[in-house]
């Protein structure tokens, strides 16, 4: 019998998960509001509002895994968008009997001293982190109470790879850098920071979803050795055959002033600690459990440059 998978969200992670599953012959459906075609051979598409619990439950009927690859488009509206969406996803997984596999991030840890491991507590207090913390805590509780057949969350650092656009700190400034223009990044340019390829997020998410022994906890996506923002951008430019550009830092009083008139920068400013100190992911648990290795850095840079 062919395994069946329902993916909510057609962003970079959702598309990579769909492509990975379709390539091996799984029955894959991608759900978005528009139902737009991802262009991936063998993948079906459905148009529905994933915050509609009944509609999502019907779509998930018979699915082995329900993948939460959603990413509400307006970063300033997470308080409005995430609670009903998260509630519907959890309810649909519970009602359908599907394993619930969540694409997470590192926000719940808050500021850290030293590499991030999965046993760090989710203690962040900024409002976006509180939302993400609640999403996983609710799913874990449902699993521990026996209401979910399986639940797991994989957490990655800032994305690289194709299709990231303005949602990635390197890809956001890349178009200007490719034209030889100086660029501005958030926080310091000289601190080591982990970057994660979206293809590796997809591989880890699928591996975790299909490994019952891994459920009930979070896992970190295998990622390459940390680079500074300036190094990561220079490496992508080199992969594209382009020279380095000047990299400016937006931080401190300048960021505070800009945030007064920019709702997006006000949101980003709450998370600026990620770029003011080393922000390094420990991925040893996932590597050991599934034998996964990150996409080689040179390839990550070529993929990010669109080559």
pLDDT tens digits along 84-93: 999 999 999 9
Phi, psi of 72 (to 5 degrees): -50, 130
Residues 105 and 243 in one domain: no
Residue 77 has a pLDDT of: 86
Structural domain boundaries enclosing 61? 4-159+195-224+281-295
Cα–Cα distances (Å) from 196 to 92, 172, 173, 210, 283, in that order, read: 29, 15, 17, 21, 11
Cα–Cα distances (Å) from 67 to 18, 43, 206, in that order, read: 10, 14, 9
Q: How far apart are CA 192 and CA 293, in angstroms?
A: 20
Residue 300 lies in a domain: no
Residue 207 lies in a domain: yes
Residue 163 has a pLDDT of: 92
Residues 37 and 113 in one domain: yes
Residues 91 and 108 in one domain: yes
Residue 75 has a pLDDT of: 82
Residues 210 and 91 in one domain: yes
Residue 240 lies in a domain: yes
| Residue matched to tokens 């591996």 | 207
| Residue matched to tokens 């790879």 | 161
pTM exceeds 0.85 for this model: yes
Closest CA to 170 of 244, 74, 234, 80: 234
Q: Into how many domains does the chain fold? A: 2
Residues 181 and 207 in one domain: no
Residue 307 lies in a domain: no
Residue 146 has a pLDDT of: 97
Residues 210 and 65 in one domain: yes
Q: How far apart are CA 109 and CA 107, in angstroms?
A: 6
Residues 288 and 243 in one domain: no
Which residue stretches of the chain have pLDDT < 70?
Answer: 1
Residues 35 and 83 in one domain: yes
Residues 58 and 146 in one domain: yes
Residues 186 and 128 in one domain: no
pLDDT digits (tens, 9 = 90+) for 59-72: 999 999 999 999 88
């Amino acid at each position: 019998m062919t395994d069946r998978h329902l993916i909510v969200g057609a962003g970079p992670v959702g598309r990579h998960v769909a492509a990975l599953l379709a390539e091996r012959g799984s029955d894959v459906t991608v759900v978005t509001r528009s139902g737009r075609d991802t262009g991936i051979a063998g993948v079906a598409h459905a148009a529905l509002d994933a915050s509609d619990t009944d509609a999502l439950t019907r779509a998930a009927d018979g699915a082995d895994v329900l993948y939460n690859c959603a990413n509400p488009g307006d970063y300033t509206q997470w308080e409005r968008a995430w609670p009903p969406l998260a509630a519907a996803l959890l309810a649909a997984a519970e009602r359908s009997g599907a394993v619930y596999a969540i694409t997470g991030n590192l926000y719940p840890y808050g500021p850290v001293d030293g590499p991030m491991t999965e046993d760090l507590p989710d203690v962040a207090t900024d409002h976006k982190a509180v939302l993400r913390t609640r999403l996983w805590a609710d799913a874990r509780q449902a699993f521990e109470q026996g209401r979910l057949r399986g639940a797991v969350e994989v957490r990655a650092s800032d994305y690289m790879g194709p299709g990231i656009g303005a949602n990635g700190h390197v890809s956001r400034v890349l178009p200007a850098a490719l034209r030889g223009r100086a660029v501005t990044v958030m926080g310091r340019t000289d601190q080591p920071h982990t970057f994660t390829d979206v293809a590796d997020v997809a591989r880890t998410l699928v591996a975790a979803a299909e490994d019952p022994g891994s459920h009930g906890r979070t896992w970190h996506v295998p990622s390459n050795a940390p680079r500074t923002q300036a190094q990561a951008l220079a490496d992508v430019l080199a992969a594209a055959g382009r020279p380095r550009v000047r990299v400016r830092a937006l931080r401190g009083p300048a960021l505070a002033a800009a945030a007064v008139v920019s709702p997006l920068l006000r949101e980003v400013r709450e998370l600026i600690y990620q770029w003011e100190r080393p922000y390094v992911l420990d991925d040893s648990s996932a590597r050991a459990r599934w034998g996964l290795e990150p996409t080689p850095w040179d390839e990550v840079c070529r993929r990010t440059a669109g080559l």
